[in-house]
Copies of this chain bind each other. A is one copy, B any other.
Amino acid sequence: MLESLRGNILADIDSDDLRVIVISAKGPVFSSGHDLKELTSAQGRDYHTKVFQACSEVMTLIQDIPVPVIAMVNGVATAAGCQLVASCDIAVVTEKSTFATPGVNVGLFCSTPAVAIGRAVPKKVAMEMLFTGSPISAQDALLHGLVSKVVPEERLEEETLAIARRVCQASRPVVALGKATFHRQMAQGRDAAYATASRVMVDNLALRDGQEGIRAFIEKRKPVWTNKAEKANDE
């Protein structure tokens, strides 16, 4: 599953036509994380190491690729499944969806999910989830920043695609530069972050699509993007 996710995420990653990725599931479970049968001692330490490396790779890949990734969730997201939701840029979920890190109950503390969840919600929320394994509701997940939007089940696809379409209206290289910069500057101290982001603003303005957007705004017309990371002629 992790390899399949990885392959699908990377399939068209360099195509100018790829502008947003939506991850969803069929059935009442969004994802319940690792298959515990893969984690018995029979599989051995090297195999376990490989599994968690593959998992971390997929989770960080979602943040490192140039297009936004939206989780569309209708049901249960637990352990690495909850980590997957936390790792996406945007998450639209139904009212009945729940989120948990129950590993502690089966003797396997959700330490890798905690990397993504601990960076998404307040510390006390993360710790109660991790120490008790109890699920939180979609509303609580929204309240604490784990998900972006809670919608009735019958409107899940419509609301998710509305956000996806908004993302697609923007220029691909502009979004790509913005996404990469967001994660980069957030890992820096404030002053270094401003130095990084200020340089990026100037680079963004030097893009053909950067100049087109500003001209279109001034001329009160819709912009026409190239969606290519090309510099403007006059730069």
* Complex alpha-carbon distance, A132 and B179, angstroms: 12
A197 within 8 Å of B (CB atoms): yes
* Complex alpha-carbon distance, A172 and B170, angstroms: 47
A148 to nearest B CB, angstroms?
A: 5
Which of B145, B189, B198 sits near A112, CB closer than 8 Å? B198
A111 and B181 in contact (CB under 8 A), knowing A41-B234, A123-B120? Answer: yes
Which residues from B are CB-within-8-Å of A37? 218
A175 and B214 contacting across the interface, CB-CB below 8 Å = no
* Complex alpha-carbon distance, A196 and B201, angstroms: 34
A171 within 8 Å of B (CB atoms): yes
* Complex alpha-carbon distance, A167 and B195, angstroms: 32
A114 and B182 contacting across the interface, CB-CB below 8 Å = yes
Which residues from B are CB-within-8-Å of A225? 107
B56 and A194 contacting across the interface, CB-CB below 8 Å = yes
Which residues from B are CB-within-8-Å of A45? 202, 205-206, 235
Contact with B along A32-66 (1 / 0, CB 8 A): 00001101110001001100110110011001000
Which of B89, B132, B149 sits near A127, CB closer than 8 Å? B89
* Complex alpha-carbon distance, A183 and B170, angstroms: 35
Which of B36, B178, B190 sits near A217, CB closer than 8 Å? B36
A197 and B105 in contact (CB under 8 A), knowing A90-B131, A166-B132? Answer: no
A143 to nearest B CB, angstroms?
A: 7
A11 within 8 Å of B (CB atoms): no
A109 and B178 in contact (CB under 8 A), knowing A60-B191, A127-B90, A167-B131? Answer: yes
* Complex alpha-carbon distance, A35 and B7, angstroms: 43
Contact with B along A6-19 (1 / 0, CB 8 A): 00000000000000
For this complex, 5 residue pairs linking A to B, each with C-beta atoms less than 8 Å apart, are A39-B214, A40-B218, A48-B205, A115-B194, A124-B146
Interface residues of A (CB under 8 A from B): 36-37, 39-41, 45, 48-49, 52-53, 55-56, 59-60, 63, 68, 89-91, 104-112, 114-115, 118-128, 130-134, 143-149, 163, 166-167, 169-171, 174-175, 177-179, 181-183, 185-187, 189-191, 193-195, 197-198, 200-202, 204-207, 209-218, 223, 225, 232, 234-235
